[in-house]
Amino acid sequence: MELVLSEYVKVIKNAWNEKISDQELMNLLFSEVIDRYGLKNKSGEPYYFSKTKVSQIVNRQDNLGNLPSSIVEAFSRENFRNVCIPYFRTDVLPFITMEKRKILADALFVLIDNDNEIVESERGVLKDFCEKAQNNLDCFAAFLVEVFVYVGQRNNSYGMTESQRKKAMECPIPIPHVPEELDSRELPYISAIIEAISDKEHDEYTYERAMSNKEYAGRVKRYREDFFKAEALRRNCRDVFPKNKTPFDAFEIEIYEGVIDEWEREHRDGLDCLASVLRTAGVIQTGRTDLERNTKWVGPAEKKGTCHILVNEEKIKGWVK
């Protein structure tokens, strides 16, 4: 479940009062943007979404399912929201009844809440707009536009062209944002870490207590950074490689096969097990997927972070045996 352009179009279409095609809706949503910024096609005419292009976007077709770069660039302009909000207020919302607006807001909230790829700061902004959406039409228009801005700049395609893929593989993955508050997807592996600390100390620890301890706070901070780097690697593999051909699954299997013997060995306590497994993961040579040889994406942190993903997926059953 991802908050991308294809899903955005789908939920708005479902809330529309009248029958409308995907092509009609796409051209209506982008009409003001195209007109205001004078966006043209290759022939120099005002850009118009063809039936073929809309199908590629709605179906998230490999290599072809993204917006043209000129439209994506328009989303980053400072006055973009000010251009779109009045237009959505007068040309979009009249086609969505009050009852359907509630359904639409709920559907978008579910996407916002369940998409693990949204960074927490952005998720918080989108949720705030959603909560205010029911106040009046201006607030609802602002909410739809805020989501529009987000999906317009996000990768909607399952893949890239070969030249795009090669270029992406040559670039390091940007360091991911680690939210101050725990993300819900972190709870399983964080719980396992806290259990390991408790096992070492022969005392009951909580996350808050561990973070008040200088040594453990530093460790947990590194573990969280590693986890988000591994998740960024998984996301990059998903975005760059064709659908159903992402190499991350094979990479994860290599990490599992490389650490499981160390995990099964006897250790002094859960924290010793955790530290030993992560040390082993950090030096594994992963050659099956060529990620390590052919990209600049993989280092010790991504390998260690994948161990936390394995805990989340219950392929590694925690650190206290």
- For residue 152, give the nearest of 94, 95, 77, 59 by alpha carbon: 77
Would residue 283 count as lying in a domain? yes
Of all residues in the chain, the percent with pLDDT exceeding 70 is 98
- For residue 175, give the nearest of 230, 125, 220 by alpha carbon: 230
Domain endpoint, select from 134, 152, 170:
152
Domain endpoint, select from 100, 129, 152:
152
Would residue 319 count as lying in a domain? no
- Look at the chain and report how many structural domains it folds into: 2
Over residues 135-174, the pLDDT tens digits come to: 889 999 999 999 999 999 888 886 566 777 787 788 888 7
Measured distance CA(110)–CA(100) in Å, rounded: 15
**Whether 200 and 246 share a structural domain:** yes
User: CA angle, corner 236, sides to 235 and 242, nearest 5?
Assistant: 100
Helix count and strand count (H, E) for the chain: 16, 0
Surface-to-core class of residue 38, CB atoms within 10 Å of its CB (0-12 exposed, 13-18 middle, 19+ buried): exposed
Would residue 243 count as lying in a domain? yes
Q: What band does 15 get if pLDDT is binned at 50, 70 and 90?
A: very high
**Whether 83 and 172 share a structural domain:** no
Q: What is the pLDDT of residue 159?
A: 59
Which residue is it, tokens 């390091």?
A: 172
Q: Is the pLDDT of residue 245 over 70?
A: no
Q: What band does 119 get if pLDDT is binned at 50, 70 and 90?
A: confident
What phi-psi label fits residue 168: left (phi over 0), alpha (psi between -120 and 50 degrees) or beta? alpha
Residues contacting residue 38 through CB under 8 Å, at least 6 positions apart: 46
Over residues 53-80, the pLDDT tens digits come to: 999 999 998 778 889 888 988 887 878 8
Span 182-195, average pLDDT: 91
**Whether 170 and 295 share a structural domain:** yes
> Which residue range is the domain that position 237 belongs to?
162-312
**Whether 110 and 186 share a structural domain:** no
pTM for the structure as a whole:
0.60
Would residue 317 count as lying in a domain? no
Measured distance CA(35)–CA(122) in Å, rounded: 28
Over residues 191-204, the pLDDT tens digits come to: 999 999 999 999 99
Span 19-39, average pLDDT: 95
Q: What band does 241 get if pLDDT is binned at 50, 70 and 90?
A: confident
Q: Are 165 and 241 within 8 A, CB to CB?
A: yes
Q: Give strand pairing partners of 40.
A: 46
Q: What is the pLDDT of residue 107?
A: 95
Mapped onto helix, strand or coil, the DSSP state of residue 274 is: helix
Q: Give strand pairing partners of 46.
A: 40
Domain endpoint, select from 130, 152, 174:
152
Would residue 109 count as lying in a domain? yes
Q: Is the pLDDT of residue 4 over 70?
A: yes
Residues contacting residue 192 through CB under 8 Å, at least 6 positions apart: 274, 311, 318, 319, 320
**Whether 66 and 188 share a structural domain:** no
Q: What are phi and psi of 46, to 5 degrees?
A: -55, 135
